[in-house]
Chain A
Amino acid sequence: MRQPTTVERLYLDFDGFFASVEQAARPRLRGRPVGVVPFDVGPGAHTCIIACSREAKIRGVSNVMPVAEARRLCPGLILVPQSPDLYRRAHNALISEIEAVIPIDAVKSIDELTCRIEPAHRPEPEALGRRIKARLRDHVGPWITCSIGIAANRQLAKMACKAGKRPAPGLYGDGLTVWRPEDMPGPLLPVPLADIPGVGARLGRRLTLAGIYDMAGLLATQPRQMRALWGNVTGERLWYALHGYDIQTPPSGRSMYGHGRVLPPGHRTLDAAREASLLLLVKAARRMRRDGWAARRLSLWLSLQGGEWGGDTDLSEVGDDVSVREGVRALWRRAWPVLRPAETVFRLGVTLSDLVPASEQQQDLLASPDDRRRRARREAATAAVDALNARYGQTLVHFGLWRPPPGAYAGGKISYTRIPSAEDFW
């Protein structure tokens, strides 16, 4: 395995991305502490900040912090409901600007990406980082900043990026940190174990029990020890990455398409949940079809006041809206007898899994000619609906009722594993 002797990778992470995009789009928010929340909240609401601006972070507010706690730390905090489509558009524009300076090797999430540094730029990588920042500042504006880490491999570059976000007390973001191989492990040693991506509370306890309390202790272990501590090959890969080897995980493939939703107050009845599940399922099926997959399994789960309910059913390698809607209705028929009529559903999720490429779908050999004709009609009808909706850029035609739950953005949620496309907001 190769151990680079120069910096080869750049990792970029936008600072307080959602909040800074809101500040760029709404001048009244600029320079003020902003907290982005999942939906419009009243004064006594119980929800969490999902992102906050640098002005809020300087005052101690952090992502995934309850609103009440955030307001205690920062009484002047301005709460703004999220705008996923705005963040999506900002992401596309920022990526396009960055690609004008350096090709992007991989987009890791809506606000993180990584690039390979060409040999010509390796002697002075800071200049490359400054060019990227200047491009964004000149063409997008000064309100969306990024922190950049540069190192021998992706993992170290990511950790350098994070380390550079807080250069001093009272400052946040707009970092540019270079960890050269000849200087390692010096810059890595002060990094707390909890700041290593993938090290959470449980793994932290395991490390403590193994007598590993700091980075020096972790670096002194052997690859097989780390594999045992992590319980899988990731531990061993991390050992090599921390020691400066050129290693990264192979890209993971797609295994499911799904949506989950916290239902807004007033829409937590069984009927409302059923309607929401049908809509979310159709959105998941659309994404699955766009990516060229069909599913063999459909799952539904409900988070209830009294517990949970979950069920799944087999599908015949289908992707059309009619078949998947039929499947989830069958699951609801199974759930209905075991649920209380006045049950409250707080969250629900639908998942299409056990995927097969749509080009490799196989017909059931035992299916009757009528079944085959029915399947062909369903697929043709769904394709026609997709084409009409694509032509007009909205859900113009659909099967059954189409009433998105309040709060909008059903099917357009941004997560670590997914950046929504424009169609997800139709």
Chain B
Amino acid sequence: MSWKADLRVADLEPARAIEVTCRRCCKMRYERAGVLAARTELAQAYLDEVERALRCHDRYCRGPVRIALPHQGQLEGFVGGMA
């Protein structure tokens, strides 16, 4: 069980971006947590269930995807070496 099994899409802020990458062709897109949570079948889903439900957007691929939560917005650098 990974972190995806601990978190529901509805637990995320609606504007939170979720990185969706095709495992077959590696095409990447972003989905918004609020948009996914608005789908009836995903309203109560955990992120691992969301991952299984989503498919690559390429009509000729439609492969399984891997999801990730980017955390770049939390970066807070060092100032003068101070943590």
Complex: A416 Cα to B19 Cα, angstroms: 23
Complex: A241 Cα to B70 Cα, angstroms: 31
The one of B1, B19, B21, B82 in contact with A197, judged by C-beta atoms closer than 8 angstroms, is: B82
In the complex, B83 has a CB within 8 A of chain A: yes
A416 and B69 within 8 A (CB): no
Query: Cβ of A108: which chain B residues have Cβ within 8 Å of it?
Result: 75-78, 83
Q: Which residues of A approach B to under 8 Å, CB–CB?
A: 11, 89, 91-93, 95-97, 99-100, 104, 106-109, 114, 139, 154-155, 157-158, 196-199, 230, 232, 234, 237-238, 241, 248-252, 390-394, 416-422
B3 and A97 within 8 A (CB): yes
Q: Distance (Å) between the CB of B59 and the closest chain A CB?
A: 12
Complex: A386 Cα to B68 Cα, angstroms: 21
Q: What 0/1 readout, one digit per residue, does chain B (7-19) give for beta carbons within 8 Å of chain A?
A: 1000000000001
A92 and B19 within 8 A (CB): yes
Q: Distance (Å) between the CB of B31 and the closest chain A CB?
A: 12
A419 and B75 within 8 A (CB): yes
Residue of A nearest to B80 (CB): A234
In the complex, B40 has a CB within 8 A of chain A: no
For chain B residues 36-68, which have a beta carbon within 8 Å of chain A? 68
Complex: A350 Cα to B28 Cα, angstroms: 27
Query: Cβ of B6: which chain A residues have Cβ within 8 Å of it?
Result: 100
The one of B3, B68, B75, B80 in contact with A99, judged by C-beta atoms closer than 8 angstroms, is: B3
Q: Distance (Å) between the CB of B32 and the closest chain A CB?
A: 12
B77 and A139 within 8 A (CB): no
Query: Cβ of B7: which chain A residues have Cβ within 8 Å of it?
Result: 100
Interface size for chain B: under 10, 10 to 19, 20 to 34, or 35 or more residues? 20 to 34
Complex: A394 Cα to B57 Cα, angstroms: 13
Query: Cβ of B76: which chain A residues have Cβ within 8 Å of it?
Result: 106-108, 251
Q: For chains A and B in complex, what number of residue pairs have CB atoms within 8 angstroms?
A: 105
B83 and A139 within 8 A (CB): no
The one of B28, B78, B81 in contact with A422, judged by C-beta atoms closer than 8 angstroms, is: B28
Query: Cβ of B29: which chain A residues have Cβ within 8 Å of it?
Result: 390-391, 393
B77 and A237 within 8 A (CB): no
Query: Cβ of A109: which chain B residues have Cβ within 8 Å of it?
Result: 75, 77-78
Knowing A100-B3, A391-B29 touch, does A197 contact B71 (C-beta < 8 A)?
no
- 7 pairs of A and B residues whose beta carbons are closest in the complex: A198-B81, A234-B80, A393-B28, A197-B81, A249-B79, A106-B76, A154-B83
Q: Distance (Å) between the CB of A4 and the closest chain B CB?
A: 15
Query: Cβ of B79: which chain A residues have Cβ within 8 Å of it?
Result: 234, 249-250, 252
A198 and B68 within 8 A (CB): no
Query: Cβ of A230: which chain B residues have Cβ within 8 Å of it?
Result: 80
Complex: A391 Cα to B83 Cα, angstroms: 38
Complex: A418 Cα to B77 Cα, angstroms: 8
Knowing A197-B78, A251-B76 touch, does A89 contact B27 (C-beta < 8 A)?
no
Residue in B2, B28, B77 with the greatest tally of chain A CB atoms within 10 Å: B77
Complex: A104 Cα to B3 Cα, angstroms: 14
The one of A96, A249, A390, A392 in contact with B82, judged by C-beta atoms closer than 8 angstroms, is: A249
Q: List 21 A-B contacts (CB under 8 A).
A: A91-B71, A95-B69, A95-B71, A95-B74, A96-B68, A96-B71, A108-B75, A109-B75, A196-B81, A197-B82, A199-B81, A232-B80, A234-B82, A237-B80, A248-B82, A249-B82, A390-B29, A391-B29, A418-B75, A421-B72, A422-B70
A92 and B82 within 8 A (CB): no
A421 and B82 within 8 A (CB): no
Residue of B nearest to A159 (CB): B83
Q: Distance (Å) between the CB of B68 and the closest chain A CB?
A: 5
B72 and A419 within 8 A (CB): yes
Q: Distance (Å) between the CB of B61 and the closest chain A CB?
A: 12
Residue of A nearest to B28 (CB): A393
Interface contacts beyond A107-B75, A108-B75, A108-B78: sample of 5 additional A-B pairs, CB < 8 Å, sorted by A: A107-B71, A158-B83, A237-B80, A391-B29, A416-B78
Residue in B4, B69, B75 with the greatest tally of chain A CB atoms within 10 Å: B75
Query: Cβ of A92: which chain B residues have Cβ within 8 Å of it?
Result: 19, 68-71
Query: Cβ of B28: which chain A residues have Cβ within 8 Å of it?
Result: 393, 422
Q: Distance (Å) between the CB of A28 and the closest chain B CB?
A: 22
B27 and A394 within 8 A (CB): yes
Query: Cβ of A197: which chain B residues have Cβ within 8 Å of it?
Result: 78, 81-83
Q: Distance (Å) between the CB of A426 and the closest chain B CB?
A: 8
Query: Cβ of B82: which chain A residues have Cβ within 8 Å of it?
Result: 154-155, 197-198, 234, 237-238, 241, 248-249
A139 and B80 within 8 A (CB): no
Complex: A390 Cα to B69 Cα, angstroms: 17
B68 and A89 within 8 A (CB): yes
Query: Cβ of A394: which chain B residues have Cβ within 8 Å of it?
Result: 27
